[in-house]
Structure 1
Amino acid sequence: MAPYRFPEFGKGTVYFRNGTRREAFLNYHRIQGQMQFLSLQADTMLFTGKYLIDRIETAGRTFLLTEKDSDMEVIDVAGDVMLAARTQSEAAGNGLSHSGQHYSASAGEGSPGLLVSNREGNFQWQNNASGQPSRVKTTYFLMDRNRIVRPASRRTFLTVYARHRRGLARYMSRNRIDYNNEADLRKLIGFCAGLTGTD
């Protein structure tokens, strides 16, 4: 798996919460779980002051930047609620996150440094320089109308859609939702988008 979401850095737009916007050359680093941009000197840079940014759009995709949960791609929208996915490296086998570890773009782009295989929907990889086996894991989140980010779970859906709690609980019980499966979550948020009135 390529370390970046897109084959190359492409022009996109950074939308700020104060209503302004700026263009930049952007790409999403899957291993770090972070949106990156190119400086005028073509250096790879990370965003700071993420609380000032509303969203980033590039290559027809929307990304949300958060200090706590890293950066994520919006994969579905239901009214004021967004379903987003974050990919990030973690140690394989023991579940410890390596979100604080940084990898250079040049090291990530070179295939000799990585041995990659796809197992059960997770990408296993080996950084030969450190000898630490790792995998890239996808985690899903909901962002509500108040811009509160919560991990996608039964509890989160029942909280965000509290007005429809009874009908939603019935749907989730009947359909055995896997909250780590994108297809299941897309179906669930599609159901939520159709909810009207009160239970």
Structure 2
Amino acid sequence: MRIGTLGAGIIARAVARHAIGQGHEVVLSNSRGPASLAPVVEDLGALATAATPAEAAAADLVLLAVPWPRIPDAVAALPRMDGTVVIDATNQFASSPPNPRIADLGDLTGSEYVSSLLPEARLVKAFNTLYAQFIAPDPRHEAGRQVLFLAGDDADAKHIVRDLTADFGFAPVDLGTLRAGGRLMQLGGPLSALHVLKQD
């Protein structure tokens, strides 16, 4: 599979490393241009390349991992993503630490908002409940596999993400729709920052 990233921070790099470990090609992008990613690509190896966001968005599957305030600009110039599976790894931090503030979306969940910006894509919420230090290493431990919560409105898209992340070594748990599952997973929800292992 060819996997694109919108954003190339710690979460995107961690997911990219897992993907490359399974033989997938990864196309990373950020707002500063491909040249700024040369050290990251060199570190990740031959299956990694850097490109523009539009080129990364043309991949088979796309990971959205940019800071919340930058999402509208990050997706505004993208081509239509008809049927593309997009993993939304974002959290609705309207401001960063030391004084983080959660964006007020009214009745919408964070993923429903993101989905409204990418209406042609098949959005799956995943990776947002885990701190980066639980994503980057091998998710398989002596006591079990790191649980990865996911949610989405498209059953086939969730199946793709579930199989992909299970190959990474995670134990994916489907929580249902973007509205119901996304509410559990988003900031302030009962599963946000919950790190648990599943025994096999």
TM-score w.r.t. the length of structure 1 is 0.28
Structure with the larger helix share: 2
TM-score of the superposed pair, with normalisation by structure 2: 0.28
> If each structure's strand is expressed as a fraction of its own residues, which one has the higher value?
1
Bigger Rg over Cα: 1
